[in-house]
Amino acid sequence: MADKLVSPSTGKTLIPIGSRTTTPLPENEPKPIHIDREYIEVVVFDSLPRPASAFGHVAIAIDRTVYSRAHEKYFKGPFRDYLNSNTQKVQRDAIGLHLWVSPRERKIIIDELERRVAIDAKYSVFDNSCSSNVADVLEMVGVLAHDPRYFPTPVSPADLLAVLSKSNRLVERRLYRKGQSYEGGASGNW
């Protein structure tokens, strides 16, 4: 470091009084950035031989609570009970897609799901189905949940599974087998 510097704009002589290293890494190395992460889980269930579930089913779980648009109503309840009901009673396999979101995104998702539960709008395969509800809520926070090469509706459970499986938000895939019992909850609280 030079003892004296000349300001190019004013011509004044500047004398450095100290120097400080602002980062312990060399200037050409990538710097780590801490991002607060929270987790949600999208659960895609396989199909059943009945018209209501012919294409499968999708639910979203946050903090041990599951939200699921069914034909009869918008369901909200304990994730463990919901999962056990589907794997043991209904006898269906499921894949859980554990995704990271920011605390702000998580709050937006929960607020929107709560709003949808309160409204409980009539079921529609095109714009108010189990999978379209999950896709809409995820895309509100920038998580791509449908293939952009095709029309945005209807979104099938298979579409959600395919797109979210390739997401950079995916942390883990979990397999829930029919006939098994599960303890714990969703979103990393196993």
The answer, yes or no, to whether residue 187 has pLDDT greater than 50, is no
Core vs surface per residue 113-124: b (16+ CB within 10 A) or e: beebeeeeeebe
User: What is the domain class of 38-176 according to CATH?
Assistant: alpha beta
Over residues 98-120, the pLDDT tens digits come to 999 999 999 999 999 999 999 98
What do you get for the CA distance between the two ends of the chain, in Å?
55
* Mean per-residue pLDDT, 157-183: 91
Q: Label residue 143 by pLDDT band (50, 70, 90).
A: very high
Residue boundaries of the structural domains of the chain: 38-176
* Among 79, 140, 83, residue whose Cα is nearest residue 115: 140
- In this predicted structure, what is the pLDDT of residue 188? 46
| AA letter at 136 | D
pLDDT band at 174 (very low <50, low <70, confident <90, very high): very high
Compute the mean pLDDT over every residue in the chain, rounded to the nearest whole number.
86
Give residue 97's pLDDT band: very low, low, confident or very high (50, 70, 90).
very high
